[in-house]
Structure 1
Amino acid sequence: MESIGTLPSGISICYSLPDIFFLPELVFGGLVWILVACTYILFANPQAYVMAVSLFCFCMTFLWMMTFLCGTHRSRSSWAAADVLYHGLAALLYLSASVLLAYITIRAGELYNAKPSDELLKIYRLEISAVVFSFLATLLYTIHTIFSGIRWKSF
């Protein structure tokens, strides 16, 4: 039985589903990374894990996108399976990081309410932004996983 599925390569990744999500994943992941790096750690918290997840996913997504852009996958079904596996893992990692970051942000809000200051307000707002972008990155990776799974089934 001949396979009917193909993986895009070259510029076609910019307009094929699910690969169109590569750039937004990079943008939102990079924003999470930058926003978390801009905050000052006030108490022991798991922000190092959030940084590790966002940095890992940013670098791997960039390498994955370059693999598709250069066409080194040669449209093999094993690459389609790896695409599902990677994006599923990234979605799971980002979900765990997003939940931890939301918890940290709630704690930062409590600290700000106890001792209001301009510096704490700035950190609190940066963390809120990081949480929003982290959950958006989670959503993008999840959608990418679903559409990659649909594509994988066509191989």
Structure 2
Amino acid sequence: MASNTHTMESLPSGLRVCCTIPDILYLPELVFGGLVWILVACTLVVPQNPQGWVMFVSVFCFVVTFLWMLMFACGCHSNKSSWAAADFVYHFIAAVFYLSASVALAKVTLDMRDGVDFQNYQLDISAVVFSYTATLLYFVHTILSAIRWKSF
């Protein structure tokens, strides 16, 4: 129990990024975000506007999460409270972005249910499931990052 408390009080670096809470969530966030990106890119983009927002969110969050994880892994931070706060703020923004993208994607998918292209409909359903999963991961990461930030 003491080692778990210790991991929440300090910012990890190196390989500890892959085995500390909440930073262990970086990898599933990347996987599910990448799946959303791939599935939306494979579907017919009608209407363009909500699907464009979903693509922006998935690509933006994938790239920034990857860079953020690399910064932590390389030790670019110096265990300061400002890095913990920035981690909380980023994951909060990503959770809100993904929630808005998930709702838009779900709406587009519901509108497609009576369409003729069943394969695009199935891909969109998968993208909606993965998008809400990514939203949940970012939300949990936000809560755990806030707890870590407040423990400094």
Q: What RMSD in Å do the two structures reach over aligned CA positions? A: 1.2
The CA distance in 1 between the partners of 2:103 and 2:89, in whole Å, is 21
Cross-structure match for 1:24: 28
Cross-structure match for 2:131: 134
Matches within 5 A, 1:85-96: 85-96=89-100
TM-score with structure 1 length normalisation? 0.90
Give the fraction of aligned pairs with identical amino acids, expressed as a percent: 61
Is the 8 Å Cα contact of residues 45 and 104 (structure 1) preserved in structure 2? no
The CA distance in 2 between the partners of 1:100 and 1:42, in whole Å, is 12
Is the 8 Å Cα contact of residues 9 and 71 (structure 1) preserved in structure 2? yes
Q: Secondary structure at the match of 1:46?
A: helix
1:150 aligns with 2:147: yes
Instruction: Count residues in correspondence.
Output: 145
Which residue of 12, 16, 19 maps to 1:12? 16
Mind listing any 5+ residue stretches in structure 2 that lack a counterpart? 1-7
Q: Secondary structure at the match of 1:111?
A: coil
Give 1:6 shift: 1.3
Give 1:149 shift: 0.4
The CA distance in 2 between the partners of 1:141 and 1:152, in whole Å, is 16
Letter in 2 for 1:103: K
Matches within 5 A, 1:15-54: 15-54=19-58
TM-score with structure 2 length normalisation? 0.92
Q: Secondary structure at the match of 2:125?
A: helix
Cross-structure match for 2:3: none
Letter in 1 for 2:105: L
Give 1:18 shift: 0.2
Is the 8 Å Cα contact of residues 47 and 108 (structure 2) preserved in structure 1? no
